[in-house]
């Protein structure tokens, strides 16, 4: 970390922490969280390099070790610092930001990262389509060059927080004459532009977390292209690898999330215990703990570089264990578990597994094996790109997209 010379006193971890604590203390002294407007506070935190401390200097960070982020976050939390809409802006913070950092121009990084961190701009993800969910490379949304702009037409689906977003990361087809993976380009889309139509999609839970988005003659400046024309597949994989970390690799305490909710249900229903159920819960507890520790190892790997295909191996057990735990809970509760009183059309800001009832957990967990890439696709990625097994035969790999049967 730099700042008028090397302020850390060398690589000593304790000296680095002391330096970070001094920086946090100085920022809090200059911007009292109790009296400073939240946006102003977050802009100051970004400018001080205390937003993402592992990002480069000038882009919200200090070039520090990624493992120091929880330490800095805890200092701000203890001081009563305001939140930056992280519960709503998970796509922006966990997916758009690292993609912009890795693939964006210097101008794009300066333009988008600060308001994204400060919670001024909420982001969504325009990837999946009705005919291209698991097979993202098959997207048919078209972007046609028109001078310094691109004109985009198509439909996207399963788009979380699109109804609140100001910006979106978008993958569109720019060259139908090339094979499907080669003819894609990645854009930043203004969700407030004419031609962007957001409609809610009601889920099995009765809620509408996400949406379908129709794009009709939407103009996107070429300056909002992220990466080179035709390089969208590579840029999208940067996003997807970070998405799987965001879904399955967050740092979590032991016995949290669905596991914590289910163990509370178990302890509160001692009259329903059986040896068979006890054995099943212990097995699930051990699997969940193993997955949690694997997440810790993955974050250490990410700290040393960009996330790779190994992220799929973390997302897989997250989905499976959540579904098995929620099914176990319903079986434990019997007919009481079938009661579901939350069938209300609302637009929640976030998914709250632990704070809801067993019926909600069971229904919502069904989506875990779909969102962020289906479990079937995750298994293919792990087998081919992690284990080095022979790939599946792909008849469409070298065929122009326009010639594919759809």
The residues annotated as belonging to the active site are 243
Which 3 state secondary structure label does DSSP give 204? coil
SS3 content of the chain, % helix, strand, coil (to 5): 45, 15, 40
Q: Output the DSSP codes for 342-385.
A: -------SS--STTS-HHHHHHHGGGGGTTTS-HHHHHHHIIII
CA separation, residue 254 to residues 228, 295, 351 (Å): 43, 12, 19
Question: Which residues, at least 6 apart from 66, have a Cβ–Cβ distance to it below 8 Å?
Answer: 53, 54, 299, 302, 303
Q: Which helix (H) or strand (E) holds 110?
A: helix 106-117
Of 62, 65, 66, the C-alpha closest to 6 is 62
CA angle 270, 276, 282 (to 5 degrees): 75
Q: Could you tell me how many helices (H) and strands (E) the chain has, helices first?
A: 12, 7
- Contact between 323 and 368 (Cβ < 8 Å): yes
CA separation, residue 343 to residues 221, 232, 258, 361 (Å): 42, 39, 20, 13
Query: Which residues of 237-347 form beta strands (DSSP E)?
Result: none
C-alpha dihedral, 56 to 62 to 67 to 68, nearest 10°:
-160
- Contact between 206 and 344 (Cβ < 8 Å): yes
Strand-pair category, 123-126 with 167-173:
parallel
Question: Which residues, at least 6 apart from 172, have a Cβ–Cβ distance to it below 8 Å?
Answer: 139, 141, 142, 143, 150, 152, 154, 184, 185, 187, 232
d(C-alpha 115, C-alpha 193), whole Å: 18
């Amino acid at each position: 970390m730099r700042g008028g010379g090397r302020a850390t006193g060398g690589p000593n971890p304790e000296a680095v922490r002391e330096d970070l604590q001094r920086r946090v203390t100085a920022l809090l002294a200059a911007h009292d969280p109790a009296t400073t407007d939240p946006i102003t506070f977050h802009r100051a935190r970004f400018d001080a390099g205390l937003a993402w401390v592992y990002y480069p200097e000038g882009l919200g960070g200090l070039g520090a070790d990624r493992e120091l982020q929880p330490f800095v976050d805890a200092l701000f939390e203890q001081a009563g610092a305001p939140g930056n809409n992280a519960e709503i802006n998970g796509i922006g913070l966990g997916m758009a930001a690292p993609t912009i950092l890795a693939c964006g121009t210097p101008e794009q990084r300066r333009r988008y990262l600060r308001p994204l961190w400060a919670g001024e701009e909420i982001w969504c993800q325009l990837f999946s389509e009705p005919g291209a969910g698991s097979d993202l490379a098959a997207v048919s949304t078209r972007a046609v060059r028109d001078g310094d702009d691109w004109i985009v037409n198509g439909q996207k689906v399963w788009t979380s927080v699109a109804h609140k977003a100001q910006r979106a990361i978008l993958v569109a087809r720019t060259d139908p004459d090339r094979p499907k993976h080669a003819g894609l380009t990645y854009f930043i889309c203004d969700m407030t532009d004419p031609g962007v139509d957001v409609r809610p999609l009601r889920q099995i839970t009765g809620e509408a977390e996400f949406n379908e988005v129709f794009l009709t003659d939407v103009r996107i400046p070429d300056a909002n292209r992220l990466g080179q024309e035709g390089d969208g597949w590579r840029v999208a994989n940067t996003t997807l690898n970070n998405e799987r970390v965001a879904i399955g690799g967050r740092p979590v305490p032991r016995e949290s999330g669905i596991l914590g909710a289910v163990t509370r249900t178990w302890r509160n229903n001692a009259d329903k215990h059986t040896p068979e159920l006890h054995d099943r819960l212990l097995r699930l507890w051990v699997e969940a703990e193993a997955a949690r520790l694997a997440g810790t190892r993955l974050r250490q790997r990410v700290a040393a570089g960009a996330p790779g295909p190994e992220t799929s191996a973390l997302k897989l057990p997250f989905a499976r264990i959540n579904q098995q735990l929620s099914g176990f809970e319903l079986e434990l509760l019997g007919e009481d578990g079938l009661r579901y009183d939350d069938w209300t059309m609302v637009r929640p800001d976030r998914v709250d597994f632990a704070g809801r009832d067993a019926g909600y957990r069971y229904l919502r967990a069904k989506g875990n094996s779909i969102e962020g890439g289906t479990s079937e696709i995750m298994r293919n990625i792990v087998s081919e790109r992690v284990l080095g097994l022979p790939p599946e035969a792909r008849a469409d790999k070298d065929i122009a997209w326009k010639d594919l049967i759809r």
